[in-house]
Amino acid sequence: MFTTRLLEALGRVWIVLLLSFLYLPICIMALMSFNASPFYQLPFEWTTGWYADLSRNEQLLAATWNSIQIAVFTTVIATVLGTAASLALFRHEFRGKRLLQALLFPPIAIPWLITGTAMLIFFFGVGIGRGLHAILLGHVALALPYVIVVVSARLQTFAPELEEAARSLGASQWQVTTRVTLPWIMPGVIAGGLFAFAVSFDQFVVSYFLSTPGEATLPVEIYAAIRKGFTPEINAVSTIIIGISMGLMLVTARFFKFGGEK
């Protein structure tokens, strides 16, 4: 009995330490976005001046808007294409299917530095060049494997007999997909979309290779700003983004019950 209680206590301590390791730097960053000193000097002096400066920083705001637009378009495109591909892989057997499924994993494992270099060479070779359109194509290519893997995992819990029963009752293939299959796999589709958004919005390496002056995304702009000299405006925009992201994640988890039910 004593050993069991000791292990439970150690488990709780370990979870607390792990969560502290993950969230303490974020909390400190958010707190320092309200500190008057640009060098994080103490004692702490409360101010919202960095948020006011952020509202006047057109370059940082433009980069943020670029990242949001690219991430939204990437999410929509990658989710639609990835879900369609997952359904095709689930429903049909064809030569080379196992090889095709295996080829989904290397893009996730290959370092993004190599991927970014390869995309830069390829895009210039085919005439696409650099710019926001190239960044969007690169992000979709990076996000697609994540969506396919997540949706395919959800499809593994789906019973094909449900589709067969719907067809036997006279439902068309479109009705089977929209009224039977999609409602079942929707948590996987949403999770895949969230992965796609996170991969796109957080992507630095590919965006750095494919961006042009004046058309940078937020990670690239933050990197450039740090090289020039760090400013707490970066803390401010990061705090806003983290707050919005956490809020969306909690709402999504609440409605789609990603954590399960007791």
pLDDT of residue 256: 60
The residues, any chain, with a CB within 8 Å of residue 8's CB and separated by 6 or more, are none
Which H or E run includes 140? Answer: helix 132-155
Alpha helices, DSSP H, located in 169-217: 173-176, 182-202, 205-210
Per-residue pLDDT at 83 = 93
Short-list 86, 93, 228, 88, CA closest to 152: 86
End-to-end CA, the chain: 26
State the DSSP code for 38. Answer: T
CA distance 37 to 43: 9
pLDDT score, position 70: 94
* pLDDT score recorded for residue 262: 42
Residue 60 to residue 4: CA distance in whole angstroms: 53
Each residue's pLDDT tens digit, 31-68: 888 888 777 777 778 888 888 888 888 888 888 899 99
Tell me, what's the pLDDT at 258?
54
* Angstrom distance (rounded) from CA 220 to CA 121: 19
**pLDDT by residue (tens digit) across 186-218?**
888 988 998 899 899 888 899 999 988 878 888
Give the pLDDT score at 225: 78
Distance CA 250, CA 256 (A): 10
Per DSSP, the residues of 191-203 read HHHHHHHHHHHH-
Name the percent of the chain lying above pLDDT 90.
23
Residue 27 has φ and ψ, to the nearest 5°, of: -65, -40
Burial 2-33 (b: 16+ CB within 10 A, else e): eeeeeeeeeeeeeeeeeeeeeeeeeeebbebb
User: What residue ranges of the chain have pLDDT lower than 50?
Assistant: 259, 262
Residue spans per domain, the chain: 58-256
Secondary structure (3-state) at 35 = strand
Predicted confidence at residue 113, as pLDDT, reads 87
Overall fold of domain 58-256: MetI-like fold (1.10.3720)
Strand partners, 46: 35
Q: What is the pTM of this model?
A: 0.81
